[in-house]
Structure 1
Amino acid sequence: MNKKIIGIVLIIIGVALVAWGYNVYDSASSQVSRVLSGETPIEAWAGMVGGAICIVIGIFRVK
């Protein structure tokens, strides 16, 4: 039962991280930075990738 609770918590945290990462990616300052330098902020990548990893681990824990 504890594995399922941890899995659900990981899924919720993963979704929140993906949403935060996308918000950082889509922010006005990030868009200006991408236009000028062509690089995406590391916070956006960390949030989206970290969130995806949490979601995948959470799904395997729930099973």
Structure 2
Amino acid sequence: MVALSELGFTPAIGGSGSEDGEYVRAEYNDNDRIVFFHHLEDPADARFLSSLDEGALRRWIVESWIDR
């Protein structure tokens, strides 16, 4: 959430109690498009995200969600 905010997004966590599970969604402040959406329920995804240090997390967000 902090990294997304610092990169110019407005992140929010949603989906609590829903069938699909919790997720992070974030609009990019420059254009209000949702350009980041990531489910948090998958254990493999949770391990991947927790394995990244702050710099790697930022690079992954930029390469996977902004530069696409």
TM-score by length of 1: 0.24
Higher relative contact order (CA 8 A, sep 6+): 1
TM-score by length of 2: 0.23
Structure possessing the higher radius of gyration over alpha carbons: 1
Structure showing the higher strand proportion among its residues: 2
Structure showing the higher helix proportion among its residues: 1
